[in-house]
Amino acid sequence: MAKKIRIKGRLRIYILLFIVLGVIMIAVNVPIYFFDFKVGIAVSVFLMLYFLALLAFWFYIRKNILEELVGFATQYGQVQKQILRDLRLPHALMDESGKILWTNEAFESVVGISQGYRKSITGLFPEITRDRFPTVDKSEEEEFQLQYEDRYFRVQIHRINITQMVESSAFIESTEENSYLLGIYLFDETALKIALQENDDQSLAVGLIYLDNYEEALDGVEEVRSSLLLALIERKINKYIASIDGIVKKIEKDKFMVILRKKAVMQLKEQRFDILEDVKTVNIGNERAITLSIGIGLGGLTYAQNVEFSRAAVDLALGRGGDQAVVKMPGQIQYFGGKSQQLEKNTRVKARVKAQALQEILSTKDQVFIMGHRNGDVDSFGAAIGIYCIANSMGKKSHIVLNSVTQSLQPIVDLFVGNDEYDSDLIVNSEQALAMVGGNAVLVVVDINRPSITECPELIKCCKAIVVLDHHRQGEETIENATLSYVEPYASSACEMVAEVLQYVENGIRLKSSEADALYGGIVMDTNSFVAKTGVRTFEAAAFLRRSGADVTRVRKLFRDDASEYMAKAEAIKDTVIYRNDYAIAVCDAAHCKSPTVVAAQAANELLNINGIKASFVFTDYNNTIYISARSIDEVNVQIIMERLGGGGHMNIAGAQFKDAKVEDVVEKLQQTLDEMAANGEI
């Protein structure tokens, strides 16, 4: 074996060095003979012995040295291999496809396999797929987090190029230019993860609990019992918060502040804030049950930020109708509860205050722009006409932003377009509005509080003063920094709210019959002819409009369907599918109709007349967008269902939109959402 092995490298240089020195000594020995012959002979004898020793070393001792070197290398390789096997870091080698070629003992111990396992890494860790492997196009190394059973690992996968490793080998040859192996390393971070989680669980969360209907619930309760009712409510709240190791402090007669840990908030979310339902069971003769609005803020950078989050959360809960909990974190808002209808406020003080504030804002502005939501309906346009009447009475130039007119809205719009009593630029589109807007303009947004689906979102950025009047429940997306915000989810329609405001405008406003018809028509459409979501104030607003000249018969004629729409609605109802025995799902093919979304909404209302149906969902395809019209009576909150799908609305009237989607896919997504929410007890 030694004959086949050659010495190379530094060792070969060291051996050749002795030969070179001998040659140099021979060259030096020749001149010595001329100076001293005897010394020259002595040196020659020494050189002869020196070269004999070198020859003996080269032919006899070299063999033993080579054998020792080979033995050392072999033992060193075995030591290296054993070190890798015994390394405490779990490590394995794979081929390009992810098949395991070699593992060390730590890796085998972690995943519970034996030496010689030769299957795919995906079989051990389903999360590690080929798209997570480093490649030439991506990088030499990939790193990600992985949970395996009850342990957490930081995984590193390295590319190991083997082409260069075997280029000089006499026994191995690479068939590809870029052959490589994959090395995988598992860094156990379980202890760190647990420590970070425990630290995170202990972080501070701040909550606010408001009694929604404090004054209303005490009405009709004997004075001696009112204190007992509040004491029982307070006891339930204290007991509930104490059970999760929290602290509660009463800050006002109907408000509480709560301090708790983030881990406790997770418990509340798992229990879906059952205090909301539990508190309603308190009854000592009160006609109305107490309901709560809960706002919790956590995840902020400071304690003060968490307090701000909690205030924003409880305001959002109140703005959505109360009887619900809202958890606000950076970039995320979660809703719980909201299953009951908000009680109508009997007092009109708020409407009077908002009317006065609106007049003050309009009085300081030169231009007034009014707009509703995209694909405007009768309610948004009617409310815009009401705001126009207020601005006109104050001598302010106003414009209604409207990009397209649906067939259902056309009869109302025709009352104003081409009418000599109104300016030709009363109704403008988005481009015209953006060109006309000046530095001292006010924008009044009606029937919507989500900027992304207004007629002209860019106009919001152009106006420093913004007024919002809406009756939809607020969601995560709202118009920020509004000068005046009047959002009342209990109202039946935006026209009802504007009709109330009109009654409190100073000096009074005398409406024309067409203006009264527009406002009255908005209430009729949004209440389904006074059937859905009506209250005392709804009828009072309708009575005010009747006194102002609205004609019931005239309005009814404006909203009659043509034959094609009626047939499309009937066809959708005929093909309705009853899902989970409670939900009516239908697809309305209204492509040939001028107002497909209106036809779908009408079909959804009709489906609620079927006995046993808790909610109806009608789909329609319009302008490459799938629209969902969701309706219910009082058993299901369709708003929270639509919010899961990216939409929103009211508890009984809601909707959602999907761009560039197929009806079949959206129907399937709705069914999955219903299944999940039913399994979690949300509906």
The string of pLDDT tens digits covering residues 491-542 is: 888 999 999 999 888 777 888 999 999 999 999 888 878 877 788 888 988 9
Token readout for 465 is 């003063």
* Two structure tokens written together for 489: 């989810």
pLDDT band per the 50, 70, 90 thresholds, residue 442: very high
Per-residue tokens: 579: 């899902």
Instruction: Judge if 554 and 587 occupy the same domain.
Output: no
Q: Tell me: do 118 and 175 sit in the same domain.
A: yes
Same-domain status, 406 and 523 = yes
Residue 550 sits in the same domain as residue 404: yes
Asked if residue 2 has pLDDT above 60, the reply is no
**Domain shared by 212 and 279, yes or no:** yes
Residue 647: what pLDDT?
A: 84
Which pLDDT score is estimated for 496? 92
Q: What confidence score (pLDDT) does residue 341 get? A: 53
pLDDT band at 9 (very low <50, low <70, confident <90, very high): low
Whether residues 311 and 454 share a domain: the answer is no
In a domain, 257, yes or no: yes
Same domain, 623 and 668: yes
313/665 Cα distance (integer angstroms): 33
Q: What spatial distance separates the first Cα and last Cα of the chain, rounded to whole Å?
A: 82
pLDDT exceeds cutoff 80 at 320: no
CA dihedral 329, 333, 336, 341 (to 10 degrees): 130
Sheet holding 180-188, edge to edge: 100-103, 91-94, 180-188, 151-161, 141-148
Q: Residue 316 belongs to what domain range? A: 204-337
Question: What are the tens digits of pLDDT across the range 400-433?
Answer: 999 888 777 888 898 898 888 888 889 999 999 9
Task: Please report the pLDDT score of residue 209 as a whole number.
Answer: 93
What's the rounded Cα separation, in Å, for the pair 387 and 312?
Answer: 28
| pLDDT above 70 as % of the chain | 89
Q: What pLDDT, in 10s, does the model give residues 129-172? A: 888 888 766 667 888 888 888 888 888 888 877 655 444 444 34
Q: What token pair was written down for 84?
A: 């890798």
Does 239 score more than 50 pLDDT?
yes
Q: How confident is the model at residue 85 (pLDDT cuts 50, 70, 90)?
A: confident
Q: How far is CA 634 from CA 321, 346, 465, 627, in A?
A: 14, 21, 37, 22
Q: If residue 643 lies in a helix (H) or strand (E), which one and from where to where?
A: helix 638-644
| Coil/strand/helix, residue 291 | coil
Give bridge partners of residue 653 from the DSSP assignment.
Answer: 631
If we measure between CA atoms, which residue out of 626, 637, 636, 632 comes closest to residue 666? 626
- The reported pLDDT for the residue numbered 315 is 84
The verdict on 619 and 569 lying in the same domain is yes
Q: Which of residues 670 and 529 earns the better pLDDT score?
A: 670
Rg of the chain's alpha carbons, rounded to an integer? 41
Query: Per the domain annotation, does 342 fall within a domain?
Result: no
Strands 615-622 and 625-632: antiparallel
**215 & 332 share domain:** yes
Reported confidence tier of residue 339, pLDDT bands at 50, 70, 90: low
Q: What's the rounded Cα separation, in Å, for the pair 190 and 147? A: 9
Q: Are 153 and 187 in contact (CB under 8 A)?
A: yes
Please indicate, yes or no, whether residues 547 and 404 belong to a single structural domain of this protein: yes
The residue with greater pLDDT, 675 or 48, is 675
Bridge partner residues of 185 (DSSP): 91, 156
Encoded tokens for 139: 């990088």
Evaluate whether 407 touches 432 at the Cβ level (below 8 Å): no
| 5 vs 327: which has the higher pLDDT | 327
Higher pLDDT, 174 or 498: 498
620-653 pLDDT per residue, tens: 988 888 899 999 887 888 888 988 888 887 778 8
404 and 535 inside one domain: yes
DSSP designation for 280:
G
**The pLDDT of residue 63:** 60
Domains: count for the chain: 5
Q: In the predicted model, what is the mean pLDDT of the chain?
A: 82
Between strands 577-579 and 484-487, the pairing is: unpaired
In sequence order, which ranges of 575-618 are alpha helices (DSSP H)? 596-607
Sign of CA dihedral 212, 215, 218, 220: negative
Quick one: what percent of the chain has pLDDT higher than 90?
A: 19
Tokens read off for 7? 């010495």
Residue 343 lies in a domain: no
Burial of 554 (0-12, 13-18, 19+ CB in 10 A): middle
Asked if residue 345 has pLDDT above 70, the reply is no
Q: Is the pLDDT of residue 45 over 70?
A: yes
Pick the range with the lowest mean pLDDT from 29-38, 247-256, 580-589. 29-38
If asked whether residues 30 and 170 sit together in one domain, one would say no
pLDDT for 1: 42
Query: What pLDDT was estimated at residue 4?
Result: 46
Quickly list H helices, 341-493: 349-363, 378-393, 410-413, 430-436, 457-462
